[in-house]
Amino acid sequence: MLDFIKRNKLLVVVFILFSLVFLTISFILLTPQKKLTIYSPSMVNPEMVDSTVQHISKYHTIADFEFTNQNGKKITPADYEGKIYVADFFFTTCPTICPIMQDNMVEIQNHFKDNPNVLLLSHTVMPDIDSVAVLKKYALEKGVIDSKWNLVTGDKKDIFYIARKSYLAVKTETEGELYDMVHTENFILVDTKKRVRGFYDGTNKEEINRLIEDINHLLAQEN
């Protein structure tokens, strides 16, 4: 056997290289490739979606918006152009799930603080209470990095529509009462093309880890 190997060194080397290439290609082909869903209104729980868009089955993107952040700056889609971002809905005086959600959002902020391609966007569902000054105080308490994370307020009607027509993530308290919002624990992942790519329980650590993994997956796709 050793004599054969010595006489056919080149053949043996070629065989080994071929085997390695074959095994590598086989592994790639047989390993399931991660794919994130591109969500449309028809795919989401109707409780979270405005009735006027529930029929839409494709080509859904986040609509244009203009809100005001914790520093009094107008925030529009231009501030998120070409970025991956995580959106949610909250209010500063919420005593139940909001503190947990915002602590987990801080974790996401800190995880991607050195990556300018990942941003955060939190909308208050109680703009009559959450003024710019209130949001600024809340931002300072939470350690919000202004360049990474906007806490925004605005007209309640506009927030209602962006929540239910774009992000597909907020319930109404009374079926017949317009603009009466009940925020959920949802974190919404949005890609660079303004498409919804995932929903995550913002109170659940395992879901936060999944969200971070999915953000990294989108980042890898963009590069």
**Sign of the CA dihedral 191, 138, 105, 101?**
negative
Give the chain as a DSSP string: -HHHHHHTHHHHHHHHHHHHHHHHHHHHHHSPPP------GGGS-GGGS-TTTTT--S---PPP--EE-TTS-EE-GGGGTT-EEEEEEE-TT--SSHHHHHHHHHHHHHHTTT-TTEEEEEEES-TTT--HHHHHHHHHHHT--TTTEEEEB--HHHHHHIIIIIS---EESSTTSTT-EE--SEEEEE-TTS-EEEEEETT-HHHHHHHHHHHHHHHHHH-
Please provide the average confidence, as pLDDT, over all residues in the chain: 88
Place of tokens 């925004």: 152
Q: pTM score, two decimals?
A: 0.84
Query: What does each of the 223 residues of the chain score in pLDDT, given as a tens digit?
Result: 545 555 555 554 555 555 554 444 444 344 345 689 999 999 999 999 998 999 999 999 999 999 999 999 999 999 999 999 999 999 999 999 999 999 999 999 999 999 999 999 999 999 999 999 999 999 999 999 999 999 999 999 999 999 999 999 998 876 555 677 888 999 999 999 999 999 999 999 999 999 999 999 999 987 6
Please state the φ and ψ torsions of residue 84, each to the nearest 5 degrees: -90, 135
> Is 98 annotated as ligand-binding?
yes
Specify whether the CB–CB gap between 126 and 13 falls below 8 A: no
Q: How far apart are the first and last CA of the chain?
A: 48
- CATH code, residues 41-222: 3.40.30.10
Amino acid at 32: P
Would you say 55 is a known binding-site residue?
A: no
Choose among 140, 143, 137, 152: nearest CA to 80: 152
- Distance between CA atoms of 144 and 167, rounded to whole angstroms? 22
Q: 82-105: per-residue pLDDT in tens?
A: 999 999 999 999 999 999 999 999
Residue among 166, 187, 171 at smallest CA distance from 39 = 166
Strand partners, 196: 190
183 marked ligand binding residue:
yes
